[in-house]
Amino acid sequence: MNLGLFGKSITRKCTPIVRLYHVRVVQSQHPSKSLAKTSNYGVSDLVDNLIQYTKSVMENSNNHVVAFSGGVDSSLVVALLQKASEDVNNQTVQPVIGISPAVSSEQIQLARQVTSCLGVQLTEVRTSEGIDDTYIANAGEACLACKTHLYTSLKLVLNHASMTPGHKGSLYNGTNADDVKDPTRLGLIAASNFDVISPLQHTTKNDVRRAAKYLGLPNWNYAASPCLRSRLALGVEATKQHLIMIEEAEKIVKKKLSGYSKSSNIRVRMLSRQRARVEVDDDLLQEAENQKSLWTDSFQNLGFSGVDVKVFTSGSVSRKLEET
């Protein structure tokens, strides 16, 4: 049995502890020279290098506020910050999740579960991107608008945590090496504007999962789950109603597909004219095709005009306007 980060079984029941355009990623002055080639290392060497690199980027701070989603990337950042600060006094690691209609209830529950397993308190803050015209328009800069609102809220949390004389703070996110290469991630601009530190910026997603598994994180193999707004085709407004429709439709699909697991990629996309497109991994495609006719009435009751099924493709609606 993997005893995990703190020598405790990760299979134990965890009780949540909750408290209510040039992209530049912030770099350490002393980056580890070996991190770019971590895939060639054994997993223990990989984790040791990640801890050392994390120490180098946090050396001037006492308070470490992490933009947390419950996903494996931000979870690993919290774990690395904990490990890196074990021998240093007066260090605080504070994961913070933004609460809005774009964050599913399932994702919030996961964030609570993971932070409980890590033994840290989760802070939940309401974010206000839902009243931002740029975000609502969803015309290409919604991610930038959303992350700007998120980091503004996190900065307030950080400022409050750093009020003690002699305490300094930093913001962190889970941006990895694969994310930096993605031109659709305009949220990286917001991260740069707020001087957010990315301890995983040299680490591929595959190595993130390897390190998370080694440290015993319960979500090491969970499928990525970006915000619900990312399911909207460009030009489809990011309204509360649309986001609720997507969340409820995904609940239906996950419940009906017998082959679904936490590692399965499932998205319900909203296209123009409120058409739904269900995207699933290739091994679930045939079952989804067989189920499609059974979903039609439920989807129409939610407000969708129709439903189609395709193989999952990351970011499939983020690069161009859907044809009308």
- Residues 16-71: tens digit of each pLDDT: 434 443 333 344 434 444 444 444 569 999 999 999 999 999 978 889 999 999 99
d(CA 321, CA 324): 9
Q: Give me the pLDDT at residue 41, please.
A: 62
Give the DSSP letter string of 32-57.
Answer: -TTGGGGGGS-HHHHHHHHHHHHHHH
3-state secondary structure of 295: helix
Q: Which contacts (CB < 8 Å, 24+ apart) does range 161-168 have?
A: 161/63, 161/65, 161/92, 161/94, 162/62, 162/63, 166/62, 167/62, 167/63, 167/90, 168/60, 168/61, 168/62, 168/63
Q: What is the pLDDT of residues 180-204, one digit of tens each?
A: 988 888 999 999 999 999 999 999 9
Pairing of strands 63-67, 275-280: unpaired
Q: Percentage of the chain with pLDDT > 70?
A: 84
Could you tell me the pLDDT band of residue 168, with boundaries at 50, 70 and 90? confident
- State the pLDDT at residue 138: 97
pLDDT at 15: 43
Q: What gap in Å lies between CA 186 and CA 188, rounded to an integer? A: 5
Helices assigned H by DSSP within 43-199: 43-58, 72-84, 105-118, 133-137, 142-161, 177-180, 187-193
Q: Are 15 and 116 in contact (CB under 8 A)?
A: yes
- pTM score over 0.85: yes
* Tokens standing for residue 263: 């590692």
pLDDT band at residue 165 under the 50/70/90 scheme: low
Answer for the pair 92, 63: CB distance below 8 angstroms, yes or no: yes
Let me know the angle formed at the C-alpha of 278 by 136 and 227, rounded to the nearest 5 degrees: 40
Pure H helices in the chain: 43-58, 72-84, 105-118, 133-137, 142-161, 177-180, 187-193, 205-214, 240-256, 285-302
Q: Give the three-class secondary structure for 179.
A: helix
For residue 287, with 0-12 CB atoms within 10 Å meaning exposed, 13-18 middle and 19 or more buried, which class applies?
A: middle
| Alpha-carbon span 269 to 276, nearest angstrom | 6
114: nearest Cα among 4, 251, 258: 4
Query: Partners of 268 in the beta sheet?
Result: 278
Q: Please, which pLDDT band fits residue 319 given cuts at 50, 70 and 90? A: low
pLDDT digits over 275-299, tens only? Answer: 999 999 999 999 999 999 999 999 9
Residue 169: enclosing H or E segment and its boundaries? Answer: strand 169-172
Give the C-alpha distances (Å, rounded to integers) separating 315 from 179, 213, 225, 229, 276: 12, 26, 12, 11, 15
**Which residues lie closer than 8 Å to 53 by C-beta, 6 or more apart?**
28, 31, 32, 35, 199, 202
| Per-residue model confidence (pLDDT) at position 147 | 97
pLDDT at 166: 63
> Who wins on pLDDT, 230 or 17?
230
Question: Regarding predicted confidence, which is higher, 21 or 205?
Answer: 205
> Residue 44: phi, psi to the nearest 5?
-65, -40
Burial of 214 (0-12, 13-18, 19+ CB in 10 A): middle
pLDDT given at position 320:
53
